[in-house]
Structure 1
Amino acid sequence: MPDTTTDAFGNTVNCGNGGGADTFFGLRIASVFIIMATSMFGALFPVLARRSGLRHVIPHNVFEFAKYFGSGVIIATAFIHLLDPATDELGSPCLGGAWQVYPWALALAMFAIFCIFFLELFAFRWGSAKLAKLGMTYDAHGLGGAEHSHQHGEVAEQRPDDDSDLEKKLGPGGMTTIEPSSVLDDSALAQITGIFILEFGILLHSVLIGMTLAVDPNFKVLFVVIIFHQMFEGLGLGSRLAFLKLPPGYNYVAVVGALLYGITTPVGIAAGLGIRTTYNPDSTKASIVSGVMDALSAGILIYTGLVELLAHEFLFNKEMNNASNKKLAYACITMLWGAGIMALLGRWA
């Protein structure tokens, strides 16, 4: 491969190593801590607020706004901030041969979608089989959570809005359940699996944009945009983490997920600063690595956003099915607002 080439617009592209900008070095170092603070705030605030005394101070509508807004942010991230850059990276003029004759970014995103689908399908069937042995059933669409069979045919239901439901016995007639603190049931496992998949896609993306920020010559503009980008994306992830219904012994999962998100972009920035003299985001190797990772992350977030968030929140959610038209319109508009703002940020990053 040549060290330099030209793109479709006649601009010279450096395909070799090096090329990382070294201007505003002090501010680039400060960006590690600034972006860590904004990322942590976006991801941790919904989690801590919902699990502390602030839950009784902050109106419930605020949490719902964050949840629906965050769904839109995640979907826009998948298409605008991941799939489009992956298409550019894997279509880079620095890449030749087979890279130029096939839409690899779209194929990899599709591959990730099917992988996540089969993973969830296997996990659901395995979990359902285990619960069946315990005389329990699980509603995959989230209409009723984990249900326990009663000897008279009555079924008990977990209410999604009751934060204390996991600490109570379910059902009439003195029916008892397995203590949630000792058993992680299929409902909790399904939620953790879904959040893990969502976070995995976001974390890959966060590391890459951190490395890019560390060496990008247009640092000032990109820095400002990434501050808002990470805060909104953190809000999207944090709102999902905040609404996890977990047994008391597993509440730390949400906090750990938020902390992981908060440190990934700063880690990427630090790594980029450490290799700034040799790391060129336009190089052949960097284009392949970042393009493949962005494409796979896009597939993960597309599946999660459309299936886990849109379908489960709007189509298969009993509360939303019974909600008024006003509430449904509010949720849809809030989601579109989140997607719109995140899509707008794609103009610069």
Structure 2
Amino acid sequence: MRHARLHRRDDTTDCSPGGGSDAFFGLRVASVFIILATSMTGALFPVLTRRSKIIAPHIPKSVYQTAKYFGSGVIIATAFIHLLDPATQELTSPCLGSAWEEYPYALAIALCSIFTIFILELVAFRWGTAKLAKLGITHDAHGHGVGGHAAHGPENQNEKIVDSAGVAVDNPAAQIIGVAILEFGVLLHSVLIGLTLAVDAEFKILFIVIVFHQMFEGLGVGSRLAYLKLPYDYRHAPVIGALLYGITTPIGIAAGLGVRTTYNPNTATASVVSGVLDAFSAGILIYTGLVELLAHEFLFNKEMQNAPNKTLAFAIGCMLAGAGIMALLGKWA
């Protein structure tokens, strides 16, 4: 979440270790429950409705598709507008020494985060592919499907053919790793904005923006969770993921209220911690948004490759709408 307002380069910045704002205490307490409700609504709606045998048949597929692509745009905009920019502001705070201004540390941390996540996912993918190969299952890395011979020649009759979306769809471990990476970045971000909301002097504006921010971001996370194709033993994973998202910002707010007399987000320590975590989270969401969401959903998705231009345009429009709304919220928070 953007903290730039806390770090303007002027003589009024309070770098002392004293507490943050204590105004509107009753409303700050109420915000724990209000944001809990909105976060849960955004994250759980796609998950619960899609698996409900009563509700799901009455909701058009286009509703879920809209939520999924809209959520992808939200996540990408969150990375750049609500994480990377605040991280830059925090790590160039006037409360820090001049050495922090001699190098773009926030961008470097985000860069390291991107490569770290890439390497971890690459190792996990190669390990999972090797395990599947022992079972006679092969995978075309460009998303053409497991059983890669089908794309280039006759199939081996002894080969197990899996869904055309590939290992990323049918291997539960691969799916959970991918969504866990996304959720990890989002959860770090959610805790930080909860802490900020608890002590920020500009509480009213920030509170309104965060309500919408958490709901839209929850919709993005929930739509990814709702589309996981998992075996019965993993059936509760999407619900658990949505619940984790829903409680993190309220936990951050509660923690901030508990230390409001001593926690000042302007101090050097607070700026470094939040700046590093924001930059690291930004790298996670940039990688996930561009690779897992854009590349896999549009470039390597066989269904989207063969979709009519109207369908493609609709999906891109939803994604741009999500990114645009989330970027606009960055004007106030």
Q: Is TM more than 0.5 here?
A: yes
Q: Deviations over 1:10-63 (max 9, x none)?
A: 341111212411111111000000000000000001000111122111100000
Residue 111 (structure 1) aligns with: 112
Corresponding residue for 1:128? 129
Answering whether residue 189 of structure 2 is matched by residue 188 of structure 1, we say: no
CA distance in structure 1 between the partners assigned to 2:164 and 2:57 by the alignment: 18
Report Cα offsets for 1:255-278 as digits up to 9, x if no partner: 000000000000000000000000
Q: Describe the SS at the equivalent of 2:13.
A: strand
What is the match of residue 28 of structure 2? 28
Instruction: List 4+ stretches of structure 1 deviating above 2 A.
Output: 6-11, 138-157, 184-187
**336-345 or 48-57, which deviates more:** 48-57
Distance 1:342 1:145 in 2: 36
Distance 1:35 1:214, change over 3 A: same
* Residues 128 and 186, structure 1, Cα contact 8 Å, conserved in 2: no
TM-score w.r.t. structure 2 length? 0.92
| 2:128 alignment partner AA | G
Q: Secondary structure at the match of 1:136?
A: coil
Structure-2 separation of matches of 1:246 and 1:236:
19
Aligned length: 321
Asked if 1:213 corresponds to 2:218, the answer is: no
Q: C-alpha distance in 1, partners of 2:149/2:233?
A: 21
Partner of residue 3, structure 2: none
Mapped pair 1:158 → 2:159: no
Q: Paired residue for 1:180?
A: none
Structure 1: gaps of 5 or more residues = 1-5, 161-183
Structure 1 residues 7 and 243: CA distance shift in structure 2, 3 A: closer
* Corresponding residue of 1:86: 87
Which residue of structure 2 lines up, in the alignment, with residue 329 of structure 1?
Answer: 313
| Residue pair 2:71, 2:319 contacting (<8 A) in 1 also | yes
Mapped partners of 2:140, 2:83: distance in 1: 32
Contact 2:14–2:266 under 8 Å retained in 1: yes
- CA–CA distance in structure 1, aligned partners of residues 46 and 169 of structure 2: 24
Q: What secondary structure sits across from 1:39 in the alignment?
A: helix
Displacement, 1:186?
6.6
- Give 1:231 deviation, angstroms: 0.1
- Paired residue for 1:295? 279
Equivalent pair of 2:7/2:90 in contact (CA under 8 Å): no
1:102 and 1:39 map into 2 onto residues whose CA distance is: 36
Shift of 1:9: 4.8
Give the share of equivalent positions with the same residue, in percent. Answer: 69
How far apart are the structure 2 equivalents of 1:185 and 1:312? Answer: 11
CA contact (8 A) 2:43 2:218 kept: yes
**Partner residue, 1:70:** 71
Which of 228, 238, 241 aligns to 1:257? It is 241
8 Å CA contact 2:163–2:170 kept in 1: the answer is no
Instruction: Choose 127-136 or 80-89, whichever is displaced more.
Output: 127-136
Partner-residue secondary structure (3-state), 1:14: coil
Query: Quick one: distance in 2 between partners of 1:289 and 1:198?
Result: 20
- What displacement does 1:118 show? 0.3
How do 1:159-174 residues align onto structure 2 when only pairs under 5 Å count? none
Mean CA deviation greater in 198-207 or 247-256? 247-256
Q: CA deviation at 1:145?
A: 5.3
Gaps of 5+ in 2: 1-5
Taking the aligned partners of 1:264 and 1:276, their CA distance within structure 2 comes to 18
Q: What is aligned with 2:213?
A: 229
Question: 1:112·1:300 contact (CA, 8 Å) conserved in 2?
Answer: yes
Which residue of the partner structure matches residue 137 of structure 1? Answer: 138
The CA RMSD measured in Å over matched residues stands at: 2.1
| 1:146/1:212 CA distance change after superposition, 3 Å | farther
* TM-score (norm. length: structure 1): 0.88
1:241 maps to: 225
Checking the alignment, whether the CA contact within 8 Å between 1:43 and 1:258 is kept in structure 2 is: yes
Name the aligned partner's letter for residue 301 of structure 1.
L
Relative to 1, partners in 2 of residues 1:185 and 1:72: Cα closer, same or farther, differing over 3 Å? closer
Q: Give CA deviations for 1:220-246 in whole Å, capped at 9, x if unaligned.
A: 111000000000000000000000111
- Answer yes or no: is 1:52 the counterpart of 2:57: no
**Counterpart in the other structure of 2:181:** 197
Counterpart secondary structure, 1:91: coil
User: Deviations 1:280-322 (Å, cap 9, x if unpaired)?
Assistant: 0111000000000000000000000000000000000000000
For residue 126 of structure 1, report the CA deviation from its aligned partner: 0.8
Report the Cα distance in structure 2 between the residues aligned to 1:139 and 1:34, rounded to whole angstroms: 46
Residue 328 to residue 25, structure 1, CA distance change in 2 (3 Å): same
Quick one: which of 251, 255, 259 aligns to 1:267?
A: 251
| Structure (1 or 2) with the greater helix fraction | 2
TM-aligned CA deviation for residue 345 of structure 1? 0.4
